[in-house]
Amino acid sequence: MSVTKRFWLLVVWGFSCVTATNAQKTSAIWLDDLPIKSFSEGIPAVLPKTTAAGDSIVMRGQYFNRGVGVNATSILAFFLDGKATEITATVGVDDKGIKELPHTFYVIGDRKILFDSGEMRLGDVPKNVTVKLNGIKRLGLLVKVDDAGRTKLYSNWANARLVMLAGHRPENIPNSDEKYILTPAPAPSPRINSAAVFGARPGNPFLYTIAATGERPMRFSAKGLPTGLLLDEKTGIITGKVSLPGTYPVTIRAKNAHGEATKLLKIKIGDTIALTPPIGWNGWNSWARNIDQEKVVASADAMVKMGLSQHGWTYINIDDAWQGKRGGKFNAIQPNEKFPKFREMVDYIHGLGLKVGVYSTPMITSYAGYIGGSSDLENGDFPDSIQANKRAFRYVGKYRFETQDARQLAAWGIDYLKYDWRIDVPSAERMSAALKQSGRDIFYSISNSAPFANVNDWVRLTNSYRTGPDIRDSWNSLYVSAFTLDKWAPYGGPGHWNDPDMMILGNVTTGTQLHPTRLTPDEQYSHVSLFSLLAAPLLIGCPIEQLDAFTLNLLTNDEVIEIDQDPLGKSARLVLTENGVQIWLKPLEDGSFAVGLFNVGDFGKTPESYFRWGDETAKPYTFDLAKAGLKGNYRLRDVWRQKDLGVFERTFKTEIRHHGVVLLRLFPYTPKSVTTARP
């Protein structure tokens, strides 16, 4: 063979090898083969290979075997790190969607809109999408719908797939920002942190724990306790019963080797309980259906061991999946086999100075498929025929058992009831009456998405009511759940609290397996701050024993908790929005104000704003006190840092991190001489 021929053969062979190598460099990945729920930062369901309702994907009569079905405004975020080359899909409104509402599909890469479908409605021809992704690090798939709270807004990313370099797959958006700790550790001397007001009904069992930080051992005392109450000086637990209605001022005291602390506690015996929002733990976002007695006891022990109980954290609430069948003295719901010693468990938790809650529903079956508070069978049986088709029995049955169930809860010593799933006013009213007649003060919380149109009924009947859908651990969900609650604010107050759902901190199971919250550290500070400003229930949904130092620090700032537990019980109002900053103002009982300055950016105003791109920066901001309705001079305190900032008039300059907060407490200041500090 000649040298020339050998040369050209080598060239052809080399070209073939390069071509083959290039062909092997990419692979197609179907989005429906990914754990797609983990990529969703929206609120409604996202499902692979079906619509969001679990039906076949059908658009304009055409069936699709592959794809991702979404509902309402949907946010899917992927970290590609420059390892993808293309995305293809066919997009449109599902044939089971709502006709009149337009959906707009976007493909966004590194802040640039790469595809915009324009408005699409049910019946429109689906559109094919092919977008090159070379070099793109972060990818966002957005479906924008002005849903106004409506559901069944089904749309689809049919046949959606990514082409990526071989050996690479899309990952979740990194959440590796520094978990910076702002709050100093508690002093060794005592500080009393429990609520300054407590309500109970005449003749009902009374349980109040003096929560105090400081070095142990510690001794507790109380002056002015009404007749019928006793204080355990070692534990600070006050128990008993008070027969006579009235307001009783009590001075409580905690003392250790470093000093002592006192606090005025107002005990109000009357018709109204829940004079401050509940603060504690709920098991659903920790363990969902896998909850059992061992996990509940471990959570109670951890609440004490981790020190949360010293900061006022009180409730240990068992969510869905504890229920067995009807029986016992009252023919009431009994615990299932996962809770073999239910009453003993309740007594043990009470012995720790904590309270216990459970879950139920007025429907035949609960969300998780367990027995509910009604039945189509007169004796309330729960036969295999119902258990085999649980979803078909999500309605209120002919026969209802509110009275029996409430009496059983009281007999066990239950302190809290979460009553769940599309509550109607008659169901809420029946259980409200049953609880009041049970002989025990049981905090009454209704869930899920109590309609605003009935808010006066919720105020009249319940102690808290869910103001929106189930929360997810994303900024979008937090924003929808909390930053839109201004219209609810006038209705919340002592005895009846606006409830934006559980807190999404620590390790959570909101739709996927247990994982660290996807909120950034800045967003977590905003989360705790706003819930406290709103006087919302503070119910963490993470395994307490798994708390890291950052999350524990978030949950144990007593000045933040004090804002939530303020006896005046007023919710903050949104008083100003400017330059991407929201200002929420809350009046407090002592005449001071709590103010949250939140950098929400332009969230929701542009397609790009729904995603986190990794290049966000802090915003300098000048807080004009007069614009917030605050006139005169104020002494400002940084609540998270527990640090006085000085006296200011007119303006206060600061910097707010992206999706972060500056939480202030403002005390009116009248100087003897004009010595105001200016920024």
Query: One of 110, 292, 319, 470 is an active-site residue; which one?
Result: 470
pLDDT one-digit tens code per residue, 309-359: 999 999 999 999 999 999 999 999 999 999 999 999 999 999 999 999 999
Catalytic status, residue 564: no
Query: One of 292, 420, 558, 566 is an active-site residue; which one?
Result: 420
- Ordered by where they begin, the domains of the chain are 26-165 (2.60.120.1060), 202-269 (2.60.40.10), 279-563 (3.20.20.70), 575-669 (2.60.40.1180)
Q: Which residues of the chain have pLDDT under 50?
A: 3-4, 7-22, 24, 673-679
Amino acid at 611: F
User: Concatenated DSSP letters for 30-74?
Assistant: EGGGS-GGGGB-SSS--EESS-TTSSPEEETTEEESSEEEEESSE
For position 1, what pLDDT does the model report?
Answer: 52
Count the neighbouring beta carbons within 10 Å of the beta carbon of residue 7. 10
Taking alpha carbons only, the member of 472, 463, 529 closest to residue 498 is 463
Amino acid at 284: W
For position 277, what pLDDT does the model report?
Answer: 98
Which pair of structure tokens corresponds to residue 486?
């201004």
* Interacting residues of 259 by C-beta distance below 8 A, sequence separation 6+: 189, 190
d(C-alpha 27, C-alpha 161), whole Å: 10
What Cα–Cα distance (Å) separates residue 570 from each residue in 15, 44, 199, 444, 511?
A: 75, 31, 17, 20, 33
d(C-alpha 116, C-alpha 253), whole Å: 64
pLDDT one-digit tens code per residue, 191-245: 999 999 999 999 999 999 999 999 999 999 999 999 999 999 999 999 999 999 9
Count the neighbouring beta carbons within 10 Å of the beta carbon of residue 146. 12
What's the DSSP call for residue 226? P
Pairing of the two strands 464-466 and 443-446: parallel
Which pair of structure tokens corresponds to residue 646?
């000085």
Pairing of the two strands 26-30 and 62-64: unpaired
pLDDT one-digit tens code per residue, 35-53: 999 999 988 879 999 999 9
pTM: 0.94
Backbone torsions φ then ψ of 278, nearest 5 degrees: -70, 150
The number of residues making up the chain comes to 679
What Cα–Cα distance (Å) separates residue 275 from each residue in 390, 494, 670?
A: 37, 4, 32
The count of C-alpha atoms lying within 13 angstroms of the C-alpha of 624, restricted to the half-sphere facing its C-beta, is 8
Catalytic status, residue 424: no
